[in-house]
Amino acid sequence: MLNEKIQEGLTKQLNRELESSQLYLYMASWVERKGYEGICEFLYDHSNEERNHMLKLIRYINKRRGNVILNNNGFSIINNITCISLKDLFIKLFEHEKKISREINFLVEISLQEKDYFTYNFLQWYVEEQIEEEALSKMILDKIELIGTDKGGLYFFDKDMKNFHKKK
Ligand code: OFO
C-alpha cells in the first residue's frame, strides 16, 4: 500500500509525464509545420517516450494498490505556450526537463522521509533518465545556438536529427 504523501507525489508525477508527452507533441507539430523533418521525428518520438514514463508510473501505482488519478482539467504549460523560434522552443524544453528533474529529486526525498524504500528504488530509473534527458536537450540547444541564423546550418542539423532518429 502507498501512504498518502507518496500517493500524492506519484499522482503529481504521473500527470507531469502526461503533460510532458503533450508538450513534446505540441512542439513536434509546430516544428513539422515549419518544415523541419528530422527535428519533428525526434520530438514525436520523445512524446511517446514521455507517455511510457507515465505508463511506468501507472503500473507501479497499481502494483502497490494505489489509485491512478489522471488530470483532465487541461494543462497549464501547453495552454500558455507559444514558440517564436527553434531556439526558443529548445530553451523551453530544456527548462521543462530541469523542472522535471527537480520534481523527481523532491519525490526521492519524500520517499526517504517516508521510509518507502520500494518507491525510492523505483524512482532511481527516473533519476538516471533525467540525467540523459537534460544532457540531450542541452546538447540540441547548444547546437542550435552555434548555428544561429545560418539557414544552411539549420538544414544540415535537421538532416542529422533525422539520421539520429533512424539510428535509435
Ligand atoms: Fe522528459 O522526462 Fe519524463 O521523466
pTM, two decimals, is 0.91
Return the minimum-mean-pLDDT range out of 68-82, 98-112, 113-127.
68-82
Domain ranges of the chain: 4-164
Sign of CA dihedral 89, 21, 4, 110: negative
Tell me what pLDDT residue 75 has.
63
Tell me what pLDDT residue 167 has.
61
19 lines ligand 1 (CB under 6 A): no
Map grid coordinates 526521492 to a residue.
108
pLDDT digits (tens, 9 = 90+) for 139-162: 999 999 999 988 899 999 999 888
Q: Which of 45, 52, 99, 100 to mutate to test the pocket of ligand 1 (most atoms within 8 A of CB)?
A: 100
Q: What class has domain 4-164?
A: mainly alpha
Q: Burial, 105: exposed, middle or buried (Cβ in 10 Å; 0-12, 13-18, 19+)?
A: middle
Tell me what pLDDT residue 162 has.
83
Atom nearest to 49 CA in ligand 1: 3
Dist. CA 151 → ligand 1 center (Å):
30
17 lines ligand 1 (CB under 6 A): yes
